[in-house]
Structure 1
Amino acid sequence: MKKVRSRNGFTLAELIMAVALLVLFSTFIVKMFVQADKITKKAQDLDQVVAFSSDLADQWRAGQEVKTMPILAGADQNLESGSRVTVPVNRDFQPCAPDQARYMVVMALTELTPVGGTASAGRLWQIQIEVSYADAVDQPPIYKLKAGRYKTDTEEQP
């Protein structure tokens, strides 16, 4: 009697191909997870920076003078019209030493010139807040915010 061989199993070549495809797809999936993790961290940083910058701008627009802002308490110079102040801050956005900084916050205060009688001279001010990574100061900032405010008659400068 002749024995008929049925094909119930996989050949060695099929198993090798299956393992090779599994390895190939696994490397793509691992790369995608690594990229997703990097993007998530950048998004978290951006979210924190936006919240911090908006809080600073809101404090200033609400009438707080720049010299009384807590972030400028340890600054080397005062923020005056036309000047720029750089403050190193840590992960919690508290002022710290430059070597311990996670971010650099650059603030500039500008007196805007009125256009065609829209406001009296010296009454409109603008603050610009830029936040960048401390180890990448030469790179473009992570976030940049500008906010305007009218000076009241009792204020010397906002």
Structure 2
Amino acid sequence: MNTAQTDHRGRKGFTLAELIMAIALLAFFSTLIVQVFAQAQSLTKKAETLDLAVNCASDLADRWKSPGSTELPEITDLQQNRQDGRTATIFLDRSMQPGTAEEAAWQAHLLLQAGNEADFWLLTIEIKSLSVDTVEPLFALQTGHHWDSGTGAP
């Protein structure tokens, strides 16, 4: 038998070193992939929370602009008693729906301000977490509306 045939017959499988290297690479890349998925899940949750905050603030702004269309006394009070600097707080549950202070995870802070023109009012809505001690709101929205000064109600 010549040497070329002997080398060819002895090389039918993987060596132990090659198998260990393949397993090590598989473990390394698996760890990276798990980390990427964990970060993606965290970002998805943050995006969902921000989406809920945007929808909640938009809904509160629409309610403020539409007289008689709200069951929220805080909004009705801001509609009927327009004074510069007037504030209201609406407690929100985990799904950012209005609720009680006991079940609240979020709060919407509403600030009413007089606009540049007569009968024009600005409403600033800030959505803040009750569980995180931060000055910055998760989301803030400012909207304006012209109210007829001839009536007490909007």
Q: TM-score band, normalised by the shorter chain? A: 0.7 to 0.9
Find out whether 1:84 has 2:90 as its counterpart: no
Deviation for aligned residue 1:131: 0.4
1:126 aligns with 2:122: yes
Aligned counterpart, 2:115: 112
How far residue 108 of structure 1 moved from its aligned partner, in angstroms, is 0.4
Counterparts of residues 8-157 of structure 1 (less than 5 Å) = 8-64=12-68, 69-70=71-72, 72=74, 80-92=83-95, 93-98=97-102, 100-114=103-117, 121=118, 123-156=119-152
8 Å contact kept, 1:130–1:141? yes
SS in 1 for 2:84: coil
Q: Which runs of 5+ in 1 are unaligned?
A: 115-120
Unpaired runs of 5+ residues, structure 2, are: none
**CA gap 1:156/1:113 in 2 versus in 1, 3 angstroms:** farther
- What is the identity percentage for the equivalent residue pairs of Structure 1 and Structure 2? 37
The answer to whether the 8 A contact 1:86-1:106 is kept is yes
Separation of aligned partners in 1, 2:140 and 2:46: 16
Normalised to the residue count of structure 1, the TM-score between the two structures is 0.78
1:110 offset after TM fit, Å? Answer: 0.7
Deviation at 1:13, TM superposition (A): 0.6
* TM-score (normalizing by structure 2): 0.80
RMSD: 2.7
In the TM superposition, what whole-angstrom CA distance separates every residue of 1:97-156 from its partner, at most 9, and x where no partner exists? 25x322121110111233xxxxxx3x1101010102211242421111001011113334
When structure 1 is superposed on structure 2, of 30-39 and 128-137 the one drifting more is: 128-137
Q: Report the structure number with the largest CA radius of gyration.
A: 2
Offset of residue 30 of structure 1: 0.5
Stretches (4+) displaced over 2 A: 62-65, 78-81, 83-88, 153-158
Contact residue 89 and residue 95 of structure 1 kept, 8 A: yes
**Which letter does structure 2 place at the counterpart of 1:125?**
W
**Matches of 1:148 and 1:94, distance apart in 2:** 22
